Amino acid sequence: MGILNATPDSFYGASRYSNADAVRAATDKMTGQGADIIDVGAYSTRPGAGNISVDEELRRLDLALECVRKVNSDIPVSIDTFRAEVARKAVREMGADIVNDVSGGDLDSAMFDTIAELNVPYVLMHMRGTPDTMLQQTDYSDVSSQVLSNLQEKVVRLSNMGVADIIVDPGFGFAKNLEQNYELLRNLHLFNILDRPLLVGMSRKSMIFRAIDKTPEDALEGTVAANTIAVLNGASVLRVHDVGAATDAINIIEHTYPSFISCK
């Protein structure tokens, strides 16, 4: 899953695409390097990012999705939003295929009903609080079991509402400190009990660059290492800025362990 940020303030500067030419070039590059899904975000969820209106989020998404479709009309497009209204319009009016909700339905009480109505795949991520407060909400007695329990409860709720295509995401970097992120990574295999595709998003995040004492711009090698560990522990979707590097890592894993199912 290649990341395409239609924002001016995402944490990794090279992932920001603010005009049509840049979006088209990024789409062409990522699909050429092996992306199976393009994830388009128009609202930055990094701590301290500014709030934007629904209308502005939709405006950014509309431009980006139109450009993506002009480059590749067949690739599935995910939209990264926690707002039910944005999800509905992006799917119905802009042709989005997947909804990727960093809040797991917590920031908009209408989201689960909207997903059931739209009948599209839903990425259910774990987070506490809001992007501005999440880093103060890391008080877990057992982060792996508590995140798993939270996701399991929501999977049951969504399933009872008729939502069949649920992808789970433990939410690396969202309401977890450095040690908790790596505890989750070590215990990622536990999430296989949910019997759902498992998405991980660690690309160039602080859990990577802080661990190796670098910046997001210099965290590619650390990202590849973490993603390799994730795949070996059951991840089936890698959300990444650097599609080519992720594709190479997956190919090496598949040559080493031919029984592994490909990541996306």
Q: Specify the pLDDT at position 22.
A: 87
Q: Specify the pLDDT at position 241.
A: 95
261 found inside a domain: no
* DSSP tag of 193: G
142 found inside a domain: yes
Residue 105 sits in a domain whose CATH number is 3.20.20.20
Q: Specify the pLDDT at position 15.
A: 46
Domain around 70: 2-256
Angle of the 220-232 helix axis to the 243-256 helix axis, nearest 10: 40
Q: Is 215 helix (H, G, I), strand (E, B) or coil?
A: coil
217 found inside a domain: yes
What total of structural domains would you count in the chain? 1
CA distance 184 to 146: 11
Amino acid at residue number 71: V
67 found inside a domain: yes
Q: Sign (positive/negative) of CA torsion 72, 75, 80, 84?
A: positive
Which residues carry out catalysis? Answer: 205, 239
Q: Specify the pLDDT at position 12.
A: 41
* DSSP tag of 39: E
Q: Specify the pLDDT at position 20.
A: 85
170 found inside a domain: yes
Q: Specify the pLDDT at position 18.
A: 65
Q: Specify the pLDDT at position 129.
A: 92
204 found inside a domain: yes
pLDDT, tens only, 11-29: 444 445 568 888 999 999 9
Residues in the chain where the model's pLDDT stays below 50? 9, 11-15
Q: Is the distance from CB of 124 to CB of 158 less than 8 angstroms?
A: yes
264 found inside a domain: no
Q: Is the distance from CB of 68 to CB of 40 less than 8 angstroms?
A: yes
Full-model pTM = 0.93
Q: How many CA atoms lie within 13 A of 230 on its CB side?
A: 33
263 found inside a domain: no
